[in-house]
Amino acid sequence: MIASVVAEYAIASTLALVAVVVLELAVLRTGLFRDRAYWIAMTINLGFMVLVDGWLTKLSSPIVLYAAEEKTPWRFPWDIPVEDFAFGFALLTLVMLLWDRAGPARPVDAERRRGPRPDRP
């Protein structure tokens, strides 16, 4: 058996991030990335993620351990593996995209995402 060193978590989280962005921009086209509420939700998520993930993965006394060969050595801030941010972005964005796609169309939201039309005052 030949062992190969592949940063599986790094690759998977990066692919998930790219796949979700491509899904939105090329397939679903919900306008989620132009929605202010989306970016507010992502900021709130980031704040809690830094607090909780930072506590769970701190190198001084970790609760969650990662195999070194499964991820990159980069950690930011407070010892959080950078892959966690990519995975969290992809997961939350995918849920919001599918929720938006499955929900009823709301003209007010569609207008807000597109912005004002040039033909209207």
Q: Are 19 and 90 in contact (CB under 8 A)?
A: yes
Q: CB within 8 A of 78, min separation 6: which ones? A: 50, 54, 55, 57, 58
Identify whether 9 is part of a domain.
Answer: no
Identify whether 118 is part of a domain.
Answer: no
Identify whether 97 is part of a domain.
Answer: yes
- Quick one: average pLDDT of 87-97? 96
Whole-angstrom distance, CA of residue 22 vs CA of residue 28: 9
Identify whether 88 is part of a domain.
Answer: yes
Identify whether 12 is part of a domain.
Answer: no
Identify whether 90 is part of a domain.
Answer: yes
- Output the pLDDT for position 1: 42
Total number of domains in the chain:
1
Whole-angstrom distance, CA of residue 83 vs CA of residue 69: 13
Q: Evaluate if pTM is beyond 0.85.
A: no
The gap from C-alpha 45 to its chain's centroid, in whole angstroms, comes to: 9
Q: Which domain holds residue 71?
A: 30-103
Q: What is the pLDDT of residues 9-60, one digit of tens each?
A: 889 999 999 999 999 999 999 999 999 999 999 999 999 999 998 888 888 8
Identify whether 11 is part of a domain.
Answer: no
Position 109, amino acid: D
Q: Are 118 and 49 in contact (CB under 8 A)?
A: no
DSSP letter (8 states) at residue 77:
S
- Quick one: average pLDDT of 83-110? 85
